Chains A and B, each alone.
Chain A
Amino acid sequence: MRDIKISFVINGEKMTVEIPPNISLLDLLRDHLGLTGTKKGCGIGECGACTVLINGKPVNACLVLAPQINGKDIQTIEGLGTETSLHPLQKAFVDKGVVQCGFCIPGMLMSLKALYNECPVVNQQEVKKAISGNLCRCTGYQQIVEAGESVSKKGRNKR
Chain B
Amino acid sequence: MMRTVGRSVERRGAKDVVRGKALYADDIRVDGVIHLKVVRSIRSHAIVKEVDTSVAELIPGVVKVFTSKDIKGSNRYGIITKDQEILVERKVRYVGDPIALVAAETEAIAVEAARSVKVAYEDLVPFFTIEEAKGCTTEPIHEDGNLLSSRDIIKGDIDQGFAEADVVIEETYTTSMAAHGYLETETGIGTLDERGRIAIYVSTQNPHYDQDDVVAALGLRPHELRIVQATTGAGFGGKLDISVQGLIALAIQHLKRPVKLRYSMEETMQAAAKRHAMVMHYKTGARNDGRVTAVDVRLTLDTGAYASYGLAVLSRAAAHAVGPYEVPHVRVHGELYYTNRIWAGAMRGFGVPQVSFAHEGQMDSLAKALGIDPFEIRMINALKPGSTTATGQVLHASVGIGETLKRVKDAKERRERNPEKRHVKVRPWVKSGWGIASFWYGIGNTGLPNPSTAQIHVDEKGEITLYTGAADIGQGSDTVLLQIAAEALQVSDKDLKLIRGDTGLTTDAGATSASRQTYISGNAVKSAAENLIQKLAQEASSQLTVPLPEIGYESGEFKGGGKTVTMRELAKELHQKGQIPIGEGRFDPPITLLDKETGQGIPYATYTYGTYYAEVEVDTGTGEVSVEHVIAAADVGKAVNPANVAGQIIGGVAMGIGYALMEEFESGKTRSLTDYLYPTSMDVPPVEVIIVEDPEPSGPFGAKGVGEPALIPTAPAIINAINKALNTKILDLPAKLERVMKTVLKSPCSGGI
Contact = CB atoms under 8 A, between A and B. Distances in A.
Q: Do A and B bind each other?
A: yes
Most B-side CB within 10 Å, residue of A46, A109, A138, A145: A138
A70 interface: no
Contact of A142 (B15, B17, B682, B686): B686
A106 interface: yes
Nearest to A100: B474
A106 B20 contact: yes
Chain A contact-residue range equals 35 or more
A39 B17 contact: no
Contact of B653 (A37, A99, A109, A140): A140
Interface string A26-51: 00001000111111111110110100
A103 B183 contact: yes
A24 interface: no
B743 to A, nearest CB: 27
Contacts of A101: 182-184, 232-234, 473-474
A113 to B, nearest CB: 12
A97 B680 contact: no
A102 B233 contact: yes
Contact of A97 (B11, B27, B181, B265): B11
A140 B14 contact: no
Most A-side CB within 10 Å, residue of B10, B651, B672: B651
B511 interface: no
Contact of A94 (B14, B185, B234, B646): B14
A110 to B, nearest CB: 10
B687 interface: yes
B264 interface: yes
A57 to B, nearest CB: 19
A14 to B, nearest CB: 21
Contacts of A38: 20
A100 B20 contact: no
B231 A78 contact: no
B681 A131 contact: yes
B655 interface: yes
24 contacts: A36-B27, A38-B20, A41-B184, A46-B673, A81-B19, A83-B15, A93-B14, A94-B14, A94-B18, A95-B10, A97-B647, A99-B18, A101-B184, A103-B182, A106-B18, A106-B20, A132-B680, A133-B680, A136-B681, A138-B474, A139-B651, A139-B654, A141-B680, A144-B681
Interface string A79-109: 0110100100010011111111111111001
Contact of A135 (B474, B673, B687): B673
B681 A134 contact: yes
A47 B183 contact: yes
A150 interface: no
Contacts of B687: 140, 142
Nearest to B236: A137
A-side interface mostly: loop
A152 interface: no
Most B-side CB within 10 Å, residue of A76, A98, A101: A101
Interface in B492-521: none
A137 B234 contact: yes
B17 A102 contact: yes
Contacts of A128: 681-682
B650 interface: yes
B368 interface: no
Nearest to B231: A102
A93 B27 contact: no
B184 A39 contact: yes
Nearest to A137: B181
Nearest to A83: B19
Given A101-B232, A135-B673, A90 B18 contact: yes
Chain B contact-residue range equals 35 or more
B431 to A, nearest CB: 24
Contacts of A86: 15, 18-19
A143 interface: yes
Contacts of A154: none
A6 B650 CA distance: 44
A41 to B, nearest CB: 4
Given A97-B647, A137-B655, A140-B652, A77 B20 contact: yes
B29 A34 contact: yes
A5 interface: no
Contacts of B686: 142
Interface string B641-676: 101101100111111000000000000000011100
Given A99-B18, A132-B682, A143-B646, 20 more contacts: A30-B26, A36-B26, A42-B672, A42-B673, A46-B673, A78-B20, A90-B18, A93-B18, A97-B14, A97-B641, A102-B13, A102-B474, A103-B183, A109-B18, A129-B682, A135-B673, A137-B183, A138-B647, A140-B687, A141-B650
A103 B24 contact: yes
B21 A140 contact: no
Contacts of B475: 100
A30 B29 CA distance: 10
A46 B682 contact: no
Contacts of B183: 39, 41-42, 47, 49, 101, 103-104, 135-137
Given A101-B182, A101-B474, A140-B651, A42 B22 contact: no
A48 to B, nearest CB: 9
B8 interface: yes
Given A86-B15, A102-B474, A139-B647, A37 B21 contact: yes
Contacts of A129: 681-682
B138 to A, nearest CB: 38
B476 interface: yes
Contacts of A49: 183
A94 B22 CA distance: 14
Given A46-B674, A81-B19, A109-B18, A137 B182 contact: yes
Nearest to A105: B17
Contacts of B233: 39, 101-103
B237 to A, nearest CB: 12
Contact of A78 (B11, B15, B19, B236): B19
Contacts of B13: 99, 102
A20 to B, nearest CB: 10
A40 B24 CA distance: 11
A103 B641 CA distance: 21
Nearest to B680: A132
A53 to B, nearest CB: 14
Interface in B145-195: 180-185
B234 A100 contact: yes
A73 to B, nearest CB: 18
Contacts of A132: 680-682
A141 B654 CA distance: 8
B684 interface: yes
B684 A102 contact: no
Interface string A44-71: 1011010000000000000000000000
Contacts of B441: none
B405 to A, nearest CB: 23
Given A34-B29, A137-B180, A77 B234 contact: no
